[in-house]
Structure 1
């Protein structure tokens, strides 16, 4: 049994490494991991783009409903059992996804009816498990674990983690596409499921809860009472208290907007960028320059977050979202592509900062699972709506760009609503 207190260096640094690997492992359940499968899987199941997108939306919405409960279970049972169960469910789901045409065919034989509704329902169930275990629980538990082990160094450690995650997520569509070309789409899912077996072993060995449980303190400090320890106690907010503050909703909503926008774009990346005259390979490669912007933004923001007000980052993220929205409106022009790269690069870089740092800094660590779980449920819910709304917009208007009008209206509301999104104090509500 590994004992963090006997490590030759502060165990939190190892936590940052394995927690980052844990977030990487969630990629098969993230839109970046699913989007490359969209065209071959919908064709194999004889589903239209709208039907496949609707299945994704319903499955993701269902997962968002139970994520807050999962956050409370994380607070109760700890990171290791929660993360281990999540990665096990994710691996099993990937195997089931690889056999989805066979499962659909078997159900059609048993029922005696051949109809698109049967593969549709199968994919709803599989998307629910993918999104809940991968995008939801595994991501939330891994990120929260890292944040619990650091306080004054939280921004600097998150710089390492978020940059690594950005690079991994941006490279994943290209790597998964190579797996599909080499092993077929079924084989690609099976290879990723096998890889998760090793991640499960890592979680069981190295994932640890609060440093105080092992006689340690956040940041490796010798101080018996740290800022984080205080915030984890009497100054910590419950979920109900957090929901009464304006800041919770404004920060959660801008994170949700990014999820909505980037999920919709990523899910239809090949079709969407075809409007700009890009090939499939060029469309998938668009994530690389976007990641450069994201990584630079994340590095700067993470290091500045240790001493700068988070509200500054909130408004910069809104500005990035506005740039991306204008880029979508101009998608048929080259300028639109550049605006999307810049805008989503900025919002993607700040997403990792705001989502990791806001909840422990503003609301403490005692109920971190429940509070971040609620925020994650909003993020997942928004990510569910994105692909379907993008698909419907394209069907009705013959362009994905029309979604930009909806985005601009929402961001105007965010600009006004965030004026008083200051750091909350216990006993004060907006």
Structure 2
């Protein structure tokens, strides 16, 4: 009897599931660096550091803006070295940031920690996950990225849910440190999965056929146009959805809802986001890329304008569903569009740049929207003003020359 072990070769479908599952876990590990994950530590931080919520918000804004540079250089590193070699560093960076946040004794120290949380949490892990899936899934890429968006968005919500229940037992500082340890351990497990199944660019020949002509045949200015159109749409969606979500309790309060009723509106938003991401991901594989961004902007415009008609809990649920759907439409399609129009070879670099722009837009959105509300007299009036952004973005996407769609997967 032979003592050698037979190597089990995964089927394409098994490999596809492994790729998407690995990406979803990486996004889940970004939880400590996401706004939802940070939110459960706001009250302990204000009490421990003896600072106001306004001061803490300013520190969060500055740390997030500083972290906006991370996507640009990290995307290039992912292209050169691969996700398996980048994830350990990102996980360690996020872990150190949670430890620093836990032991912070003043606001400057916390701002540095927030920079780490946002650099490696909000940017690093999701960037690695999306690029990993987009580069390694050639067939029905949109459906894969849609599923990744749905799973990833759902798992991020687990971080505050779990942390809120652990904090009363072991304290907020120990909870933050525990989150960092879990990120490192699970990150290393995912690296092992990637290496064991050889998931870094498993279809090299197929990638050359699918993407080679994109990089060589398409004029450079058309590929640049494709990047700018997707980035403009992605940043617009991030700005508008973040502004409305951040101020949602106040926004719906103007429409007659109680704070409790407004808070529960996040549930239909999350459900709609997951469902729409699955549907849109599949549609992106079947429709011309040119119509995707205008359709996303139309969805966003409808979501913003629907706020005007909210006068009951049912109307608020409709607004939440519309807003969640609008955010998911762009999130589920941007990765597939970039891969289609630019190619996968330098996808990390281009998506990293787009992520940097998106981070800036989401960082300033709550502050700018608040200023607009003060100037316009109400949040509803401010919403009518920001609807100009998706209109402009949609028109730009329609009139801009873009690469052809002959490489649609």
Instruction: Give the structure-2-normalised TM-score.
Output: 0.84
Which residue of the partner structure matches residue 91 of structure 2? 87
2:339 matched to 1:360?
Answer: yes
1:186 Cα deviation (Å)? 3.1
Which residue of the partner structure matches residue 51 of structure 1? 55
Using a 3 Å threshold, how does the CA distance of structure 1 residues 400 and 410 change in structure 2: closer, same or farther? same
Which residue of the partner structure matches residue 7 of structure 1? 9
Which residue of the partner structure matches residue 112 of structure 2? 125
CA RMSD of aligned residues (A): 3.3
Which residue of the partner structure matches residue 4 of structure 2? none
**C-alpha distance in 2 between matches for 1:180 and 1:329:** 39
Q: Summarize the alignment of residues 278-427 of structure 1 with structure 2, pairs less than 5 Å apart.
A: 278-279=258-259, 282-327=261-306, 334=313, 337-392=316-371, 399-421=378-400, 423-424=402-403
Using a 3 Å threshold, how does the CA distance of structure 1 residues 87 and 212 change in structure 2: closer, same or farther? closer
1:373 Cα deviation (Å)? 0.6
Using a 3 Å threshold, how does the CA distance of structure 1 residues 211 and 196 change in structure 2: closer, same or farther? closer
Which residue of the partner structure matches residue 74 of structure 2? 70
Which residue of the partner structure matches residue 149 of structure 2? 162
1:22-78 per-residue CA deviation (whole Å, 9 max, x = no partner) reads 011112212222234344434543434433332222211211123211111111121
1:121-155 per-residue CA deviation (whole Å, 9 max, x = no partner) reads 33332221111111112111111111111112212
2:22 corresponds, among 18, 21, 30, to 18
Instruction: Identify unmatched segments of 5+ residues in structure 1.
Output: 105-118, 219-224
1:242 touches 1:363 (CA, 8 Å); kept in 2?
no
1:19 touches 1:207 (CA, 8 Å); kept in 2?
no
1:246 Cα deviation (Å)? 3.0
Give the total of aligned pairs.
395
**C-alpha distance in 1 between matches for 2:310 and 2:148:** 32
**C-alpha distance in 2 between matches for 1:205 and 1:211:** 10
2:248 matched to 1:255?
Answer: no
1:6 Cα deviation (Å)? 5.0
Instruction: Give the structure-1-normalised TM-score.
Output: 0.80
Deviates more, 1:80-89 or 1:370-379: 80-89
Instruction: Identify unmatched segments of 5+ residues in structure 2.
Output: 1-6
1:16 touches 1:146 (CA, 8 Å); kept in 2?
yes
